[in-house]
Amino acid sequence: MSSHKGKVRFPLTLIMALMLGLVIQPYTFRAIAAENAGKQEQLAKELEGLQSEVINLEKAFELVSEYVRPVVVSINSVKVFKHEGLGPQEDRETPFYHRRDREREKDGDRERDQFRDFFGDEFFDRFFRGRPPEGEFRTEGLGSGVIVDERGYILTNNHVVEGAQELKIKLGDKREFDAKVIGADPQTDVAVIKIESSDPLPAAKLGDSDKIRVGQWAIAIGSPFGLVQTVSAGVISATGRANVGVAQYEDLIQTDAAINPGNSGGPLVNIKGEVIGINTAIFTRTGGYQGIGFAIPINMAKAIMRDLIDKGKVTRGWLGVVIQDLNPSLAQSFGVSVTEGVLVSDVQPNSPAAEAGMERGDIVTEYNGTKVRDVNHLRNLVAPTEIGKAVTIKVLRDGKEKSLSVKIGEQPPELFGLGPGAQPTAKNLGVTVQNLTPELAKNLGYEGDKGVVVSSVQPGSPGALADLREGDLIREVNREKIDNVDDFRKAVAKSGADKDVLMLVRRGEYTRYVIIKAKQ
């Protein structure tokens, strides 16, 4: 009887529990639904409160794009070159084939060998080892620019127009013009070109790049991959970027606004529609956008533009010193605790610095009221200084601060006659050199040797193609021993503008001969 009652009791308990659950569950679901509805209502109110701000920001981007796009142009550059052809044996020994063979090795020897095995050696040699075709060839490049003056002046990059026989400009309203180069400055990668129009031309509003701050909005406009009038947005990622390898004078703006091939020379603008930079390069491992782009600050570009239009050349301030960055080890050696500033490793005779009493071993900490961070910073401070202006330079000498009054001179043409921006009569190797001081010799491991040290190499220059690198020691030029920069200049000048230069170069423990081809 008890077992029977137990069997009956269990189903009743289960039924009661189920009934209770049916009562509770609808109540729980209704409570959750009500809570969610309350959250949604609260979120809707918050979004509504922010809506006007978001719409205003969106509207700002629309207005900036509409305001700036008419002044952005596409630049099609045409370069013409001739190839006269070489003999079957000669052509295998030319740089063309060395470069191609290296590229094949880079792509993978196995693929090449499989291709050869499939088609046979005769087919492979005929189509892949024959000499380049003879005749005249035209290559086209695409870049961007921005109209900065109603008279038709356009700012762009030097590398967009360099060596071009023809320049075709297309405006946002589809008008097309031929352009001529007013001037270019490879040392900053800035160029100015001009178009002639009988109708009025729009002009961009130029901002103040000294006022930009990291985190502010940045908008890039140009023709990436030929897609004209493309707008991309991001922020200012960093300022004062140097040693990027774009040019000799670098004080670049970094941005994550999408910049791709074809954007070069186009404007980087702020949320007010003011041009704050000229897009010039990207950091990439793929050839396309990877979140890091660089622009030349508009203040630097404006100064270069004024010189090119008014004088036909760029004039730069000059101190006449060889400088190097100050690291903790060097600071300790000179008995100072500063971590910023630059060390003077040499002072050129009869230079502004020498006349002002600057000495080797001085540590430059301040230039005309501005704290000096590093070598690049000081160079960028000196270069735009008005020629003949007296500036105050603070140095640490034997641990004590000293103020010097220096009358800034004009940078001699021959100073960069060995690099970009050379005068037509100067040898253009694309390298700059400095004397081998005891400090440099010790740091680079060249103690007891003689020569000049390569301080910079312009990308794409004859020096770069010959594989010269910063830190190389040039011991001989055309079989003449070199002791200093003056020896180097004289030896290079003797070779003439159209002749190759033979150099004996030391890198580390190894010495080799290098031939730098005359730039045509």
Residues with a catalytic annotation lie at 159, 189, 264
d(CA 153, CA 145): 10
| Whole-number Å distance between alpha carbons of 147 and 192 | 10
Alpha helices (H) along 269-390: 298-310, 328-333, 352-355, 375-382
Helices (H), 163-281: none
- How far apart are the C-alpha atoms of 497 and 39, rounded to whole Å? 77
Structural Rg of the chain based on CA atoms: 32
Q: How far apart are CA 145 and CA 262, in angstroms?
A: 10
CA 192 – CA 306 distance, rounded (Å): 10
Q: Are 265 and 159 in contact (CB under 8 A)?
A: no
Instruction: Print the SS3 string covering 237-266.
Output: EEEEECCCCCCCCCCEEEECCCCCCCCCCC
Tell me whether residue 81 is exposed, middle or buried, using C-beta atoms within 10 angstroms of its C-beta: 0 to 12, 13 to 18, 19 or more.
exposed
- Bridge partners of 230, per DSSP, are 222
CB of 389 closer than 8 Å to CB of 364: no
Could you give the maximum distance between any two Cα atoms of the chain, in Å?
126
Residue 366 buriedness (CB in 10 A; 0-12 / 13-18 / 19+): middle
Long-range CB contacts for residues 224-229, cutoff 8 Å, separation at least 24: 224/258, 224/259, 224/260, 224/261, 224/262, 224/263, 225/260, 225/261, 225/262, 226/74, 226/142, 226/262, 227/262, 228/74, 228/170, 228/172, 229/69, 229/72, 229/172
Q: How many CA atoms lie within 13 A of 404 on its CB side?
A: 24
d(CA 247, CA 304) in angstroms, rounded, equals 14
DSSP secondary structure, 39-92, as one string: HHHHHHHHHHHHHHHHHHHHHHHHHHHHHHGGGEEEEEEEEEEEE----HHHHT
- Three-state secondary structure call for residue 312: coil
Give residue 128's identity as a one-letter amino acid code: F
SS3 278: strand
The tokens for 293 are 């782009």
Q: Is-contact 444 386, C-beta < 8 A?
A: no
